[in-house]
């Protein structure tokens, strides 16, 4: 057996006993230490969800085209996300307007490209048609809302 082994064992036992001895001597963390640690590890931000507004609380079937546009459609059609024609862009809307309201509504109900069916909304077919009329009319059409 090596002469160093007893020294290594003694040192490892001493290191293992340090926390026990420190605790016995009353060096447990104070409450303020916990509070300080908790303050340092707080999240950078907190999310608080707002209560539904009057527009979002409207029952499906009763929303106007503008309400549905603001709630759902505008998220993509305001900025042109994923190739969505921007509201007000007459050049982008002209070929679509040319197909007529019935075709635009049918396409929107089924979904097209990156747009899910009904734009991912719970809109009725009539509400969806109203939203299409709202968008298309802002883009050069002269459709009448159902």
Q: Model confidence over 62-73: pLDDT tens digits?
A: 889 999 999 999
On whether residue 81 sits in a domain, the answer given is yes
What is this structure's pTM? Answer: 0.60
Whether 88 and 130 map to the same domain: the answer is yes
Whether 88 and 127 map to the same domain: the answer is yes
Instruction: Give me the domain span that covers residue 20.
Output: 4-40
Whether 11 and 69 map to the same domain: the answer is no
For 140, residues 6+ apart whose C-beta sits below 8 A from its C-beta are: 90, 93, 94, 97
What is the spatial distance between Cα 53 and Cα 55, in angstroms, rounded to a whole number?
A: 5
Q: What angle do CA 115, 120, 121 make, to 5 degrees?
A: 135
On whether residue 89 sits in a domain, the answer given is yes
On whether residue 56 sits in a domain, the answer given is no
Whether 134 and 70 map to the same domain: the answer is yes
Whether 26 and 87 map to the same domain: the answer is no
On whether residue 52 sits in a domain, the answer given is no
Q: Model confidence over 95-144: pLDDT tens digits?
A: 999 999 999 999 999 999 888 999 988 999 999 999 999 999 999 988 88
For 87, residues 6+ apart whose C-beta sits below 8 A from its C-beta are: 69, 73, 74, 77, 78, 135, 138, 139
On whether residue 45 sits in a domain, the answer given is no
On whether residue 143 sits in a domain, the answer given is no
Whether 27 and 85 map to the same domain: the answer is no
Which pLDDT score, from 0 to 100, does residue 9 have? 78
On whether residue 127 sits in a domain, the answer given is yes
**How many domains, the chain?**
2
Q: What CATH number did the domain enclosing 68 receive?
A: 1.10.760.10
Whether 31 and 69 map to the same domain: the answer is no
On whether residue 51 sits in a domain, the answer given is no
């Amino acid at each position: 057996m090596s002469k160093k082994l007893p020294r290594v064992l003694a040192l490892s036992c001493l290191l293992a006993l340090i926390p026990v001895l420190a605790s016995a001597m009353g060096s447990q963390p104070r409450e303020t230490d916990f509070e300080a640690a908790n303050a340092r590890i707080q999240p950078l931000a907190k999310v608080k969800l707002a209560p539904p507004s009057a527009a979002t609380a409207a029952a499906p079937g009763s929303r106007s085209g503008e309400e549905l546009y603001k709630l759902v459609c505008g998220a993509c059609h305001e900025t042109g996300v994923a190739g969505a024609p921007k509201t007000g862009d007459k050049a982008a809307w002209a070929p679509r307007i040319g197909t007529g309201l019935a075709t635009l509504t049918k396409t929107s109900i089924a979904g097209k490209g990156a747009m899910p069916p009904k734009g991912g909304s719970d809109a009725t077919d009539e509400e969806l048609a109203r939203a299409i009329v709202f968008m298309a009319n802002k883009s050069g059409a002269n459709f009448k809302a159902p």
